[in-house]
Amino acid sequence: MMNKLEHMLKEEGRKKGWLAKKVGISNSTLTNIIKGGLPTLPVALKIAHIMNTSVEELWGCSIEEWKHSIEEERR
């Protein structure tokens, strides 16, 4: 699932390491998320909160669609 995270970080002049530390995840996990990996819903919500946006804005889907995507990925 593509996201706008890298673009938003660049717009705000922030580094990936800054966000990873704020969220409490490793740099490699954040890189994986930026490249299209799906974070857990709590991590997605933290990222959205820190970036002052919504999960819908970052990933282009609703929370319900998010849950469905995670369920599909686990199968």
Tell which CATH architecture fits domain 5-74. Answer: Orthogonal Bundle (1.10)
**Is 0.85 topped by the overall pTM?**
no
Structure token digits, residue 41:
């819903």
Q: What are the pLDDT tens digits along the chain (75 aa)?
A: 568 899 899 999 999 999 999 999 999 999 999 998 889 889 999 999 999 999 888 887 666 776 777 677 777
Which residue reads 């490249």 in tokens? 35
Give the count of beta carbons closer than 10 Å to the beta carbon of residue 33.
25
**Alpha-carbon span 39 to 47, nearest angstrom:** 10
Question: Residue ranges per domain, the chain?
Answer: 5-74
